Structure 1
Amino acid sequence: MQEQVAKKARKEHYPAPYALIDLFEKHGDDWQAMIRGEIDAFVPLMGSDTASNLRRVFFLSEGLKKQGAKGVKFARVHVIGAGVMGGDIAAWCALRGMAVTLQDLDMDRIKPALDRGKKLFRKRLKKKFEVDAAVARLEADPEGKGVSRADVIIEAVVENLEIKRKIFAGLEGKLKRGAILATNTSSIELERIAEGLNDPARLIGLHFFNPVAQLPLVEIIRSSFNSDEEIGKGAAFALAIGKSPVVVKSAPGFLVNRVLMPYMLGAVQRVEAGENKELLDAAAVAFGMPMGPIELMDTVGLDVGVSVATELGHEVPDGSKFAKLVAAKKLGRKSGEGFYKWADGKAQKGPVPDHKNLAELGRELVKPLVDMSEVVVSEGVVANADLADIGVIMGTGFAPFLGGPLQARKDGKA
């Protein structure tokens, strides 16, 4: 039992499951003694920092559910771009009961997304008729006929400003009254994308995170043009598909990518300087991150990493290993190789070298993320530190037992 739990949680981070196993080991043959033993075991756990922070995270996440316009209904979604993000957003919306049309240049680009959607439905839904119904709700639409019927239109193409502008210019006259017009941009300010639109106030950001089926956050990006009504509708849609909305100001990188990029690039620079990538990833996990920064960069996609880094003003030198991997189309998990080789969706890692204090090294690696979290709050990208903490937890998996980056720094743990 301890070995199984250790695969999911470290004892120093989450002591409760280990305490339960200890209790079972002592009194598992006497249920009455086990009940009596729970009292002494439970009280110290209830008063622990982990429990306090997890209670805080719970109430912060519940608070997100109170956002969103009331009485707004969503039945049809149109997604433009059938790549990894666009396809997975479309599949998630279909899983959650929406009728979804998925548009790209041709069926060859759309079919892989439909196939991934089927895998998701089979994994998440118990009964064959439920899977079949979800498959029927996800429809290929290379000609974009679903735009005029959709309650929500989400653009999820490559991070290229001109391409995005061209798409939205062609959409504006086709929308039905009251439909949400949204971009899944990960770093470009909405004001720049909305240039040239007759009604720029209509464009909002709905920024999902990869993998879409696992990460609960959707950043609701608010530009200087948007009204409370449009933002409220965006938050309501996120809640309708089972996601947690955090409203952030339109600024380069928004919240999550703004704080992630210094963290990931800092680790990449250390690898460029000769440090062991397996060691760095193991250190971040020992600190409390769900995966290390190098594995995360591979998961996000090295091309996306370069694009966001450039948008945020971070330099990726031409002769660097990072730049060479991108040039060779070794983009990480989606291409089968990046900093790591990938097989069956898993990074193929070598042994981790010995280190005297992995958690302290992890804390050092995470410092740029925590520093930038303070900056985005000071700049008003999010309304307050609580929203920064819950947004970073949900968007990056940052150690929930620490309560978020700013709470961890407040407690002297980051």
Structure 2
Amino acid sequence: MRDLHRPAQHVHVVGAGTMGGDIAAWCALRGLTVTLQDQNAERLAPAFARAAGLFAERLKDPLRARDALDRIIPDVAGDGVGRADVIIEAIFENLEAKQQLFKHLETKARPDALLATNTSSIPLEKIGAALADPSRLVGLHFFNPVPRMMLVEIVSGADTLASLVPQAAAFTRQIDKLPLPVKSAPGFLVNRILAPYLMEAMRCVDEGIAPETVDEAALAFGMPVGPIELADTVGLDICLAVGKMLDPDANSPKRLTELIAAGNLGRKTKRGFYDWSSGKAAKGPAGSVPDGLTDRLIRPLLDEAQAAMAEHIVADADLVDAGAIFGTGFAPFTGGPLHYLASRGEFVPPSGQR
């Protein structure tokens, strides 16, 4: 195992899509050398363009921005794997593809390198089953958009070596993110509590309530962004996949399936529930919010937060609340969903907590 007191210097990211490319850019912004791997140079190009935009925005100085961009090295062949301190897989959500990739990475990586997956939905035990040593695998689950979302879930599976969790957390803090240790379970913590909230919002749209009205109901509660706009931002295909993973028997919202079938996946395709052609959601007037709509939207999130706590997905109630605030944007002034429920007499923290 790598020395916790020795910061990582080289990160290798496999997958140059939105998540992988932005993880690579963020690591380079924080001063690390990054090798970014994908199948060909054409797949790498959009990631480098986004990175250049991020560096120009954050660093202001063209010379510093150029230096940051120079820290990202295109690596179609994957030569960086053997030199990296941290290896992050960020390819598409397909179990077989991830298993085959990790079988290869395991043979090339240094014995002390951190092997991490950015999966948002596949249990680590299934991915790790392909490894000769499944105990090496840990989850580093970043959130979209990476530059704005500070939380990273540190996911440990049944086989994960316990000492890897503080190692992964140390790396997360090194790149100025907030680590949240969670158990490997469907949806981990954040997607588990977020998906039912988003699905309920979309069912409201199916019933004829305007997306703008649904979003306004959540904003009135104190959410920084409405659930429909958030779903568009996350990606409607991702929302559907996570929803199916959490509740395979549930009927998916009708409008959601129609939009996906038409190739309208939200912000990344310029159209979802909203038109994103300008880079922002084009919204009409919200109108008046029906009585009870806010409570209807928030209730599924509150219920899942309690269930996650009862199942020990995280260590304590404070971490559930922190994950909800930093991962879902749950109204910060409430203190988080469990603190909010406790203030209403609907939740009693386990003995010894709070």
Q: Settle same-fold status: TM greater than 0.5.
A: yes
Match of 1:265 among 199, 202, 206: 199
8 Å Cα contact 1:153-1:181 kept in structure 2: yes
SS at match of 1:375: helix
8 Å Cα contact 1:279-1:353 kept in structure 2: yes
- Over residues 217-273 of structure 1, what are the superposed CA-to-partner deviations in whole Å (9 max), with x where a residue is unaligned? 000001111222111110011000000001000001000000000000011111112
8 Å Cα contact 1:155-1:184 kept in structure 2: yes
- Over residues 358-386 of structure 1, what are the superposed CA-to-partner deviations in whole Å (9 max), with x where a residue is unaligned? xx632331111111001001001001100
Q: 1:310 Cα shift?
A: 1.5
Aligned to 2:314: 382
Give the Cα–Cα distance (whole angstroms) in 1 for the partners of residues 220 and 343 of structure 2: 18
Match of 1:154 among 73, 78, 88: 88
* Aligned residue pairs, count: 345
Matches within 5 A, 1:90-169: 90-169=24-103
- Over residues 9-49 of structure 1, what are the superposed CA-to-partner deviations in whole Å (9 max), with x where a residue is unaligned? xxxxxxxxxxxxxxxxxxxxxxxxxxxxxxxxxxxxxxxxx
Structure 1 counterpart of 2:106, which letter? E
Aligned to 1:207: 141
Give the Cα–Cα distance (whole angstroms) in 2 for the partners of residues 400 and 72 of structure 1: 34
- Over residues 265-291 of structure 1, what are the superposed CA-to-partner deviations in whole Å (9 max), with x where a residue is unaligned? 011111112111110001101101111
Aligned to 1:350: 284
Give the Cα–Cα distance (whole angstroms) in 2 for the partners of residues 123 and 260 of structure 1: 29
Q: 1:344 Cα shift?
A: 3.0
Q: 1:316 Cα shift?
A: 6.4
Match of 1:186 among 110, 120, 127: 120
Structure in which a larger fraction of residues adopt helix: 1
8 Å Cα contact 1:281-1:293 kept in structure 2: yes
Q: 1:343 Cα shift?
A: 2.5
- Over residues 70-93 of structure 1, what are the superposed CA-to-partner deviations in whole Å (9 max), with x where a residue is unaligned? 413200001111111111111000
Matches within 5 A, 1:14-413: 70-315=4-249, 317=251, 320-355=254-289, 361-412=293-344
Structure 2 counterpart of 1:271, which letter? V
Q: State percent identity of aligned pairs.
A: 50
Q: TM-score, normalised by structure 2?
A: 0.94
Structure 2 counterpart of 1:347, which letter? A
Aligned to 2:350: none
Give the Cα–Cα distance (whole angstroms) in 2 for the partners of residues 106 and 339 of structure 1: 32
8 Å Cα contact 1:316-1:322 kept in structure 2: no
8 Å Cα contact 2:202-2:253 kept in structure 1: no
Give the Cα–Cα distance (whole angstroms) in 1 for the partners of residues 38 and 308 of structure 2: 35
- Over residues 287-332 of structure 1, what are the superposed CA-to-partner deviations in whole Å (9 max), with x where a residue is unaligned? 0111111111111101111111121124564792211211211100
User: CA 1:319 to 1:356, structure 2 compared with 1: closer, same or farther past 3 Å?
Assistant: closer
Structure 2 counterpart of 1:326, which letter? I
Structure 2 counterpart of 1:345, which letter? G
Structure 2 counterpart of 1:320, which letter? K
User: CA 1:413 to 1:351, structure 2 compared with 1: closer, same or farther past 3 Å?
Assistant: farther
Structure 1 counterpart of 2:222, which letter? G
8 Å Cα contact 1:72-1:233 kept in structure 2: no
8 Å Cα contact 1:317-1:323 kept in structure 2: no
Give the Cα–Cα distance (whole angstroms) in 2 for the partners of residues 314 and 294 of structure 1: 21
Give the Cα–Cα distance (whole angstroms) in 1 for the partners of residues 278 and 135 of structure 2: 43
Unaligned runs of 5+ in 2: 347-354
Structure 2 counterpart of 1:163, which letter? A
Structure 1 counterpart of 2:166, which letter? G
Larger gyration radius, structure 1 or structure 2:
1
- Over residues 106-149 of structure 1, what are the superposed CA-to-partner deviations in whole Å (9 max), with x where a residue is unaligned? 11111001000010001111322211110100111111111111
CA root-mean-square deviation: 1.7
Structure 2 counterpart of 1:279, which letter? T
Structure 2 counterpart of 1:220, which letter? I
Q: Write out the 4+ residue segments of structure 1 that deviate beyond 6 Å after TM superposition.
A: none
